[in-house]
Structure 1
Amino acid sequence: MLGLLMNENEREEIEYLIKREMDELLFDLNDHRIDHMVKRAMQERYQLLFELFKRVASHHECLKYMPRKKKQQ
């Protein structure tokens, strides 16, 4: 296990950077021109970023970015 010591300004900056990256991914995931394989990689990256985001953001902020479950077909 690794630890990270940061002050409040650094935490807010990390939160901001992760949110912007997740926003970009969400925007690109809605683009129909992007290949399915690329979208799958983007979804995996979103999951990883969300796991990091949960460590620095409030519960209320996490709810805004919580990934949606895929519907079973």
Structure 2
Amino acid sequence: MMGMLFNEKECKELGYVLRRELDEMLMDMSDNRLDLDIRNAIALRYKTVFRMYARFAAPKELSKYAIRGKITQ
């Protein structure tokens, strides 16, 4: 396990970067032009980034990025 110390400004910036990444991945996962295997790989990465964002975000903000179910064709 690795620990890092951030000041408030850095936490906000990291939260912003993680939100943008989550938005991009949500858009990619909903794009039916992408192969199902690719979308599943994005979904696995999404889970990791979502857990990282959960450490910074308020529960109300976090609920915007919660996804349910599997990626379907």
TM-score where L is the length of structure 1: 0.89
| 5+ residue gaps, structure 1 | none
Alignment identity in percent?
Answer: 40
Equivalenced residue count is 70
TM-score by length of 2: 0.89
> In structure 1, how many angstroms separate the alpha carbons of the residues matched to 2:62 and 2:31?
24
Deviations 1:43-69 (A, max 9, x none): 001000000000111111111111213
Equivalent in the alignment of 1:60: 60
Matched, 1:32 2:67: no
In 1, Cα distance between equivalents of 2:8 and 2:69: 32
What's 2:9 paired with? 9
Q: How well do the aligned residues superpose, as a CA RMSD in angstroms?
A: 1.0
| CA displacement 1:20-50 (0-9 Å, x = unmatched) | 0110111111111100110010000100000
* Structure 2 gap segments, 5+ residues each: none
Letter aligned with residue 62 of structure 1: L
Q: Which runs of 4+ in 1 moved over 4 A?
A: none
